[in-house]
């Protein structure tokens, strides 16, 4: 429950950054400063740029450290001890991106309001309720000494950079915040700050929480049968799972075993909670409250694959990876190399790859022996439980039990502190306690106009109807919703990351990943000895018989809960050197449920990307073998599976010759590649959006409108074969029953008109890239709403190809709209994208290639702010030097860090 002064405002959960209108003052001051003198402005912008050459004295170092940067500013760090390597990485990360690190730690601690005021209060309330920081504080105590030492040394490096440095010398953002009156000095960095960010990434990749809510709400709107049709089962026969062999045996997963009856635990029959929808109406908006900075968990996927030496021109394995995340500026990754000059038990690190600013080590990359890549396994690690509450008690197994409570205080810039009482059942924190914030300081209210989340406009209506039909829960009893999430169970995931950096073979690789709890990942592997492999990771709960993870469960029934146990790591699928010599992971099913019964999830990606990747790799093998260039080309494939399915039906519609048939003419010669310069791709995607809108939005709650991703590929593919399905009918038209071809014809006509208005009356002049632009926005000041401020930090206008559920996965939301001078229009802009790309040949690590979505720098106007984005958008990559000689040859700047006398 929430107490405090809120100025009587009843607000919905909107992204906090969109409400920072008080930056108007910055705009005025900034314009005056710019007019006063360009030189002053240049000095102000540049004063926070890091020193990258020469010498610096850094307290805490035991010896000299060299930081060699190439022409993209990517640092390779050389030291004689683990302490110095980690300390120097912290120093370099702070040089490049401390403001990003500082905002992240405020976000993950639920303290954004200290910097940005009441506009970020909703985010802080949700994060405090989830208790990310509390979990991180517990995890620090579980770490191995070597991991704790690395975290502490990293923090010491960050703090060495901050020591005595004015905030204006740290980042331009602090200068602008100071102009608004913020009196702020960053506090010291700590190990907990690093661990808390891992919780944000776990939230971003959390699995099927939205699907749980969506199933319940869709069933309430259209009935269980029709709702089930919108959540199709994974098509194992059409899209092969990652692992095609093996089963769980007495000693864990055995890749050579065949499944036998009783060889694995049975989680029982699924059940649903009829009271779920009523309680969800009060919980609405909480899940979507967190800003894009902390991830939305929707539309997130990745590609990762590895090819054995029998299929490569070199005879050695090649590994590729491109994780798909929300787009931001700076991007989530920053590249780095960490090298002990002399490898020993005391200093065993020789690794390079993609890191998180704020976290020591490398997350994805390679060392001198192995390479690895991540894709999201997306196991079902979250469940919503509908709880029966009576005051400060909750019902379980026919008895009332006391709720667990803790008190939180949120400091609000330019406002009164907010007191928050977090209540929890044994399942987890009560999200529904955030569902109402009344005028007198009660709870956050779901009954407001959520302009950013149309779903919520419908939730109260659905909830009221369900409440009337629901069972009598007794006088004084109310329904609440709690969240069970494995990432809220303290686990030493940071141990796994450090161990992975130092793994040297398959056995040490698997041992390292045993402790990787959250987020659950598919990890592909290759080594210099010629082996390839795959390992599933993550803390996955075992549910009781009354809970199949598909919909919110009745929390008062013992049979719906978790057993308290997890699928043992030894039972998670893995394979070494599989038959066929290729392992492809793109968020598809890990393994056929017929051979593997422990429940991982029922909400896999439908497998279009993984199947396409497999087909392309087979073509390359048949053409003479795979090399680095061909692997990189596969990452850029823009073939649309939906385009191939839907286009023949569109061409079968009889349109008037001339103006309206111009689009069909384009489709007749289309190869289904969604290239940026393709007129046909532009037309197809506008048609696709219109088909989805006209087929589903008349019956679904607004927030559940189709986003156009892989699930909708599968749903519409099935409906196309049923031309009289009720889904085609528009229930809002009286005395007319629309069928498939009616919808397709209307979509074709509307798309022609839209493209004429937005691009050109000449169909050949349309381009997909002009609609499908990549805009990179700062998650803080870049969302201020003040044009002159946003212009400082945001960059945009890259015309890109690809799309949702395409290998080049530049995802867009088919339900999104944006306001333009001419009115509200469809928004085809990129919302998720390959956050980086890498290709690693195991015979020559210096021949590896990599690229980041943005540059390594977080400083606006710095040459390395978005210098890699131009290359990324063109499909180019950078050379990835690894050996010391290659790094020296590529070096542009060398900074020597000296210990303090």
Name the residues annotated as catalytic: 302
Q: Cα 839 from chain centroid?
A: 21
Polymer length of the chain = 901
* Rounded Cα–Cα distance for residues 205 and 197 (Å): 13
- For residue 664, give every residue at least 6 positions away whose Cβ sits within 8 Å of its Cβ, in sequence order, or none: 650, 651, 653, 655, 748
Cβ contact 277:220 at 8 Å: yes
Apex 712 CA angle, 323 and 216, nearest 5: 100
Closest CA to 346 of 558, 523, 502: 502
Q: Is 395 annotated as a binding residue?
A: no
Closest CA to 557 of 387, 735, 429: 387
Cβ contact 242:582 at 8 Å: no
Apex 201 CA angle, 199 and 207, nearest 5: 100
* Rounded Cα–Cα distance for residues 678 and 799 (Å): 11
* Rounded Cα–Cα distance for residues 730 and 700 (Å): 12
* Rounded Cα–Cα distance for residues 773 and 794 (Å): 14
Q: Is 137 annotated as a binding residue?
A: no
Closest CA to 557 of 756, 746, 398, 721: 398
Task: Report the side by side order of strands in the sheet with 2-3.
Answer: 2-3, 418-424, 404-410
Per-residue DSSP letters for 446-496? SSS--TT-THHHHHHHHHHHHHHHS----TT-EEEEEEEEGGGS---HHHH
- For residue 721, give every residue at least 6 positions away whose Cβ sits within 8 Å of its Cβ, in sequence order, or none: none
Helix, strand, coil shares of the chain, percent, nearest 5, are 40, 20, 45
Apex 631 CA angle, 629 and 637, nearest 5: 105
* Rounded Cα–Cα distance for residues 625 and 312 (Å): 5
Tell me 765's DSSP state: G
Beta bridge partners of 527: 370
Q: Is 478 annotated as a binding residue?
A: no
* Rounded Cα–Cα distance for residues 715 and 645 (Å): 12
Cβ contact 199:490 at 8 Å: no
* Rounded Cα–Cα distance for residues 554 and 427 (Å): 11
Phi first, then psi: give them for residue 705, nearest 5 degrees.
-60, 145
Residue 655 CB neighbour total at 10 angstroms: 17
- Pairing mode, strands 823-826 and 817-820: antiparallel
Closest CA to 302 of 322, 329, 285: 322
* Rounded Cα–Cα distance for residues 110 and 122 (Å): 9
Cβ contact 588:605 at 8 Å: yes
Query: Long-range contacts: 269-273, Cβ < 8 Å, 24+?
Result: 269/545, 269/546, 269/548, 270/547, 270/548, 270/550, 271/545, 271/546, 271/547, 271/548, 271/553, 271/559, 271/560, 272/216, 272/550, 272/551, 272/553, 273/386, 273/551, 273/552, 273/553, 273/554, 273/560
Q: What is the largest CA-CA distance in the chain?
A: 88
* Rounded Cα–Cα distance for residues 827 and 708 (Å): 12
* Rounded Cα–Cα distance for residues 877 and 633 (Å): 11
Return binding residues for Ca(2+): 212, 380, 383
Return binding residues: 212, 380, 383
């Amino acid at each position: 429950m929430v107490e405090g002064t809120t100025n009587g405002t009843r607000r919905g959960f909107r992204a906090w950054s969109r409400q920072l209108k008080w930056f108007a003052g910055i705009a005025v001051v900034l314009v005056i400063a710019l007019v006063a003198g360009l030189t002053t402005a240049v000095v102000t912008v540049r004063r926070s740029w890091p020193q990258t050459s020469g010498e610096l004295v850094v307290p805490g170092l035991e010896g000299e450290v060299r930081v060699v940067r190439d022409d993209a500013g990517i640092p390779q760090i050389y030291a004689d001890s683990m302490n110095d390597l980690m300390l120097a990485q912290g120093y370099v990360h702070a040089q490049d991106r401390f403001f990003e690190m500082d905002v992240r730690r405020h976000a993950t601690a639920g303290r954004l309001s200290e910097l940005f005021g009441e506009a970020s209060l909703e985010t802080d309330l949700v994060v405090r309720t989830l208790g990310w920081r509390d979990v991180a504080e517990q995890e620090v105590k579980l770490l191995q000494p070597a991991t704790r030492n690395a975290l502490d040394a990293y923090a010491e490096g960050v703090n060495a950079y901050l020591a005595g440095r004015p905030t204006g010398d740290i980042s331009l953002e602090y200068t602008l915040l100071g102009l608004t009156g913020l009196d702020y000095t960053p506090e010291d960095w700590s190990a907990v700050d690093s661990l808390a960010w891992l919780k944000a990434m776990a939230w971003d990749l959390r699995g099927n929480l939205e699907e749980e809510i969506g199933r319940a709400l869709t069933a309430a709107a259209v009935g269980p049968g029709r709702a089930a049709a919108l959540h199709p089962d994974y098509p194992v026969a059409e899209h092969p799972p990652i692992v095609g062999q093996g089963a769980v045996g007495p000693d864990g997963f055995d890749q050579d075993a065949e499944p036998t009856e009783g060889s694995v635990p049975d989680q029982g029959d699924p059940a649903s909670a009829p009271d779920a929808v009523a309680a969800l109406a009060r919980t609405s908006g909480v899940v979507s409250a967190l800003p894009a900075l902390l991830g939305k968990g929707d539309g997130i996927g990745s590609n990762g694959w590895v090819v054995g030496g029998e299929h490569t021109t070199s005879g050695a394995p090649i590994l590729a990876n491109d994780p798909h995340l929300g787009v931001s500026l700076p991007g989530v990754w920053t590249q780095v190399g960490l090298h002990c000059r002399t490898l020993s038990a005391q200093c065993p690190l020789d690794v390079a790859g993609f890191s998180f600013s704020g976290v020591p080590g490398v997350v994805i990359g390679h060392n001198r022996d192995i390479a690895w890549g991540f894709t999201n396994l997306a196991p079902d690690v979250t469940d919503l439980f509908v709880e029966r509450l009576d005051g400060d008690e909750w019902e379980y197994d026919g008895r009332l039990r006391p709720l667990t409570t803790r008190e939180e205080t949120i400091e609000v810039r330019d406002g009164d502190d907010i007191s928050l009482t977090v209540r929890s059942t044994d399942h987890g924190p009560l999200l529904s306690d955030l569902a109402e914030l009344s005028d007198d300081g009660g709870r956050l209210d779901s009954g407001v106009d959520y302009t950013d989340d149309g779903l919520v406009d419908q939730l109260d209506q659905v909830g009221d109807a369900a409440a009337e039909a629901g069972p009598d829960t007794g006088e004084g009893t109310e329904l609440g919703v709690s969240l069970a999430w494995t990432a809220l169970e303290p686990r030493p995931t940071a141990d796994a990351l450090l161990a992975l950096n130092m793994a040297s073979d398959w056995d040490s690789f698997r041992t390292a990943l045993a402790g990787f709890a959250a987020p659950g990942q598919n990890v592909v592997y290759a080594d210099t000895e010629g082996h390839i492999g795959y390992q599933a990771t993550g803390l996955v709960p075992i549910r009781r018989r009354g809970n199949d993870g598909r919909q919110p469960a009745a929390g008062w029934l013992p049979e719906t809960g978790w057993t308290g146990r997890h699928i043992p790591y030894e039972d998670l699928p893995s394979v070494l050197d599989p038959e066929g010599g290729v392992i492809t992971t793109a968020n598809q099913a890990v393994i056929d449920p017929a051979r593997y019964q422990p429940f991982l999830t029922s909400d896999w990606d439908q497998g279009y990307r993984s199947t396409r990747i497999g087909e392309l790799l087979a073509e390359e093998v048949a053409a003479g073998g795979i090399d680095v260039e061909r692997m990189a080309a596969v990452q850029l494939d823009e073939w649309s599976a939906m385009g191939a399915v839907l286009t023949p039906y569109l061409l079968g519609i009889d349109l008037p010759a001339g103006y309206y048939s111009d689009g069909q003419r384009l489709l007749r010669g289309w190869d289904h590649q969604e290239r940026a310069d393709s007129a046909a791709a532009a037309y197809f995607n506008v048609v696709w959006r219109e088909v989805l809108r006209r087929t589903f939005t008349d019956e679904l709650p607004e927030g559940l409108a189709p986003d156009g991703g892989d699930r909708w590929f599968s749903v519409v593919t099935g409906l196309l074969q049923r031309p009289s399905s009720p889904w085609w009918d528009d229930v809002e038209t009286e005395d007319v029953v629309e069928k498939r071809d009616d919808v397709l014809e209307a979509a074709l006509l509307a798309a022609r008109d839209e493209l004429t208005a937005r691009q050109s009356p000449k169909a050949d002049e349309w381009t997909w890239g002009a609609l499908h632009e990549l805009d990179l926005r700062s998650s803080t000041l870049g969302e201020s709403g003040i044009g002159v401020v946003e212009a400082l930090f945001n960059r945009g206008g890259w015309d890109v190809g690809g799309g949702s559920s395409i290998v080049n996965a530049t995802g867009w939301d088919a339900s999104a709209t944006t306001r333009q001078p001419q009115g509200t229009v469809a928004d085809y802009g990129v919302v998720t994208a390959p956050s980086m790309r890498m290709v690693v040949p195991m015979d020559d690590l210096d021949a590896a290639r990599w690229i980041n979505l943005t540059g390594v720098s977080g400083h606006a106007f710095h040459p390395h702010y978005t210098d890699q984005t131009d290359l990324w958008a063109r499909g180019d990559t950078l050379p990835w030097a690894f050996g010391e000689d290659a790094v020296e040859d590529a070096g542009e700047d060398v900074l020597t860090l000296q210990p303090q006398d």
